[in-house]
Amino acid sequence: MLAAGDSFVLPGLFADAVRVAVPGAVVRELKLPWPDQPFGEIAEVSEASGTENQLIEALSGCSALVSQLAPVTEHVFENAPDLRFVGVSRGGPVNVNLDAARERGVVVVNAPGRNAIATAEMTVALMLAVTRGVPAAHAGLAAHKWQGELYRFDCSGIEIAGTTVGLVGYGAVGKIVARILMAMGAEVLVYDPFVAEDELPAGIERLDNVDALFLRSGIISLHARLTPETHGILSGERIALMPPGGFVINAARGPLADYDAIVSALRSNHLAGAAFDVFPDEPVDFGHPLFDLLDSGANIVLTPHIAGASQQVARRAATIVAGEFARFLSGEPLRYRLS
């Protein structure tokens, strides 16, 4: 097996997990340059790291591959004739040509939900940071300023307890966020056309109309998958439906939100704040007006797409695909098979 890791899911984490799941497995390690170098499109796949030729050379004689970001393209499949199993330690295997895998009878598995807990916790952290103005307060002290004025009524934030929070999407991440917010005393509303009313725990209200969710919510948090239907679901028109002084949070996918509309709503003070871990373009375009607002002191909290990054996630991802490899070898049904 080739364990093609990177500086997040380390090659050694893959190798250790495989050796535990399959004692005696012979594992070769390769380290890809992400995140020190951004991932990107390689041939027909995306969000990939390293090169096709580097991967082909490392796969020589290997029947299995586990990786998070290796570029498993048609060219790689053509030049790795021994390959029979690919374990992708992420939810969206966009770095693998699944059609090429199917044509060659190569089994591909993924690791859905690996980062749900980390992303949910980060979402709540962003929510707390922006609703209580934590970054600005920290920046003042870092600049040796005692900002007593932050105790003014018009400068103080809001509590999550008693606030109506609307969740767009109720998948693996949304469920955890909802549970945390309910424990904090929030009123939680959910819009997700794929979730039935009886699937929700007591105390959470499901709405059939996304506009109604915006009308009633002081905080909107995005947790939907990116599809043609959800692209731009956080639009200027829907922001205008929110009560004045609301907040928006996005730690899911950048294109779910219209960032130009959010900037306009922040400038007009219709929105009191916004927090983002994801952006329409990554790495970000620092020329976007969002960063002009940030420089002017607007209540914006930004992080560079790190919500899903925790040490537990890296270990969990390696363990999931190693377990699938063990089931593959023993002929057991696979839990997360894609091809």
Q: pLDDT at residue 193 above 90?
A: yes
> Rounded distance, CA 32 to CA 69, Å?
8
SS3 content of the chain, % helix, strand, coil (to 5): 35, 20, 45
CB environment 276-300: b (16+ within 10 A), e (fewer): bbbbbeeebeeebebeebbeeebbb
CB 91 within 8 Å of CB 112 = yes
Q: pLDDT at residue 325 above 90?
A: yes
> Rounded distance, CA 255 to CA 236, Å?
13
Average pLDDT, integer, range 296-305: 94
Q: pLDDT at residue 191 above 90?
A: yes
From the CB of residue 103, how many other CB atoms can be counted at a distance below 10 Å? 12
In the set 90, 253, 316, 324, the catalytic residue is 253
What is the reported pLDDT for 175?
A: 97
Segment holding 67, helix H or strand E = strand 64-67
Q: pLDDT at residue 197 above 90?
A: no
- 240-254 residue pLDDT tens: 999 999 999 999 999
Q: pLDDT at residue 148 above 90?
A: yes
What is the reported pLDDT for 192?
A: 97
What is the reported pLDDT for 297?
A: 87
In the set 28, 267, 305, 327, the catalytic residue is 305
Q: pLDDT at residue 221 above 90?
A: yes
Provide the 3-class DSSP secondary structure of residue 276: strand
Q: pLDDT at residue 147 above 90?
A: yes
> Rounded distance, CA 200 to CA 16, Å?
38
| Adjacent-strand bridge partners of 190 | 167, 206
Residue 19 is among the residues annotated as catalytic for this protein:
no
For residue 329, the Cα-to-chain-centroid distance in whole angstroms is 31
> Rounded distance, CA 226 to CA 232, Å?
9
Average pLDDT, integer, range 279-292: 93
Average pLDDT, integer, range 176-193: 98
The CA angle 26-32-34, to the nearest 5 degrees, is 140
Residue 282 is among the residues annotated as catalytic for this protein:
yes
- 99-126 residue pLDDT tens: 999 999 999 999 999 999 999 999 999 9
Computed over every residue of the chain, the mean pLDDT equals: 96
What is the reported pLDDT for 177?
A: 98
Of 331, 322, 339, whose CA–CA distance to 111 is shortest?
A: 322
- 249-276 residue pLDDT tens: 999 999 999 999 999 999 999 999 999 9
Q: Could you give the domains of the chain?
A: 2-114+310-330 (3.40.50.720), 116-302 (3.40.50.720)
Average pLDDT, integer, range 197-220: 95
Provide the 3-class DSSP secondary structure of residue 3: strand
Of 68, 76, 52, whose CA–CA distance to 14 is shortest?
A: 68
Residue 305 is among the residues annotated as catalytic for this protein:
yes
What is the reported pLDDT for 332?
A: 97
Segment holding 241, helix H or strand E = helix 236-241
Q: What global pTM score does this model have? A: 0.92
What is the reported pLDDT for 11?
A: 98
In the set 29, 282, 288, 327, the catalytic residue is 282
Give the chain's end-to-end CA distance (angstroms, integer). Answer: 19
**What's the pLDDT band for 48 if we cut at 50, 70, 90?**
very high
